[in-house]
Every structure is written in C-alpha cells, then in structure tokens.
Amino acid sequence: GAVVSQHPSRVICKSGTSVKIECRSLDFQATTMFWYRQFPKQSLMLMATSNEGSKATYEQGVEKDKFLINHASLTLSTLTVTSAHPEDSSFYICSARFFMLDEQFFGPGTRLTVL
C-alpha cells in the first residue's frame, strides 16, 4: 500500500523554541494532507487540512499562528510548532489523501516533548 513517512519520529526541545515536523508521501502524490494530534488515551483530533499550494484549513480551537502548516509540494507537508511550551507535548500524526482510493494513509507519528 501507499507509504507515508514522518520525520523526526521523536523530538525533545526546550520551551520557547520552534520545531518542524515533516510528512512525506513516498510513492504517490497527495493533493491533501491532514494533521492530527493525539493525547495519551485520547482519540486523534484533526488539527488542520492542507491542500497543495494553498493555505491550510484549521479546525476550531487550533491556533494557526502556533501551528504553521506548509504544503509546498504534492509529496511534502510540514507542521511547525512555534514557540513551543510543555502543553504542546503530544503525539502528532499526519495522513495523506490518495484520491484514487478515497482513503487516507497515515504516517507513524512524531512524539514531541517540550521541556
């Protein structure tokens, strides 16, 4: 099946710094990518939807200036957590839409820890 990768898989940073997470579709072109956040023992919560070449659409309650999303190409989307704080510590998961199959393919996730 289609493969989606995320990098890094784990990151630890100091409070106040910015962290960039990459999401790549390895063997297909993804016109749409989704970013989810998962807290321990909680469900995945959609943060934003990004379409290649256009601005991301953020879900209610998600700060767009805090979580910057760039979808510069059909195979790469990035999520930048700006001025990270301990409450931003979480598991971030991306998915990519393969339109021909009406299905999302998920990356393995990135564990962010802010000290």
Partner 1 sequence: GNSVTQMEGPVTLSEEAFLTINCTYTATGYPSLFWYVQYPGEGLQLLLKATKADDKGSNKGFEATYRKETTSFHLEKGSVQVSDSAVYFCALSLRGGSEKLVFGKGTKLTVNP
**107 sits near partner 1 (criterion: CB under 8 A):** yes
- Cis peptide bond upstream of 40, omega within 30: no
CA angle 65–43–25, rounded 5-degree value? 65
Instruction: Considering only the stretches 14-22, 36-44, 68-76, 81-89, report the one whose residues sit in contact with partner 1 under the rule CB under 8 A.
Output: 36-44
Assess 98 for contact with partner 1 (CB under 8 A): yes
Chosen residue from 7, 20, 70, 106 binding partner 1 by CB under 8 A: 106
Q: What span, in angstroms and rounded, lies between the C-alpha atoms of 105 and 17?
A: 30
User: What residues numbered 45-64 form the site for partner 1, per CB under 8 A?
Assistant: 45-46, 49
50-101-79 Cα angle (round to 5)? 20
Binding site for partner 1 (CB under 8 A): 1, 4, 32, 34, 41-46, 49, 93, 95, 97-99, 101-109
